[in-house]
Copies of this chain bind each other. A is one copy, B any other.
Amino acid sequence: MKFCPNCGVSPVAHEVPEGDNRLRHICRACGEIHYSNPKIVCGTLPVWQGKVLLCKRAIEPRYGKWTLPAGFMENGESVLDGALRETHEEALTRVNAPQLLTVLSVPMINQVHMMFWGEMPSHDFGVTPESLAVQLFTEDEIPWDEIAFRTVKTTLEHYFACRRAGDYTLHVSTISH
């Protein structure tokens, strides 16, 4: 942050406000404190007849790698609304009775990834400008070495573990390097 979004003054200080204990962007001219907080990435793991649906990324980062349909949660929607919106935007599909499967914090990039799984109501899906390909995979067919993000790999692994156990539980963890 180079200029104060409230009054336009530059530079914006980076210091600990009175009564706080963290560095914030604070404008010494107008006094405004500009907070920055983690963002939520939400998406789904769609399942059709035992196969899971993956999208081949058409955008950076990780162009050409496989991912689950997911993206940044937007203002004015719920986590589930966002997950279903992204599922449609990236794969033109839907899931029934979505159940939250993973909550994965990624503190290094200030993100929390929240993924739901659900059965697709039909075989309908398709590519969009965000995906080079959208495809169903059996567990054996998953391109594990070509998965775009660790949160996606963790979600897939947890899903298959739950399926083997016959019990779909929530997995909450932190991805650190």
Contact flags (1/0) for A156-174 with B, using CB distance below 8 Å?
A: 0000000000000010101
Task: State the interface size on chain A (CB cutoff 8 A).
Answer: 41
Contacts A72-B35, A73-B38, A75-B37 given: A172-B4 contact, CB under 8 Å? no
Q: When the two chains form their complex, are residues B100 and A79 in contact, meaning their CB atoms are under 8 A apart?
A: no
Across the interface, do B4 and A80 meet the contact criterion of CB distance under 8 Å? no
Given the complex, which residues of B lie within 8 Å of A62, measured CB to CB? none
Contact with B along A1-34 (1 / 0, CB 8 A): 1111111101010000001001000000000001
Can you name 8 A-B pairs with beta carbons within 8 Å? A3-B8, A38-B40, A76-B108, A79-B103, A80-B174, A81-B105, A81-B107, A100-B170
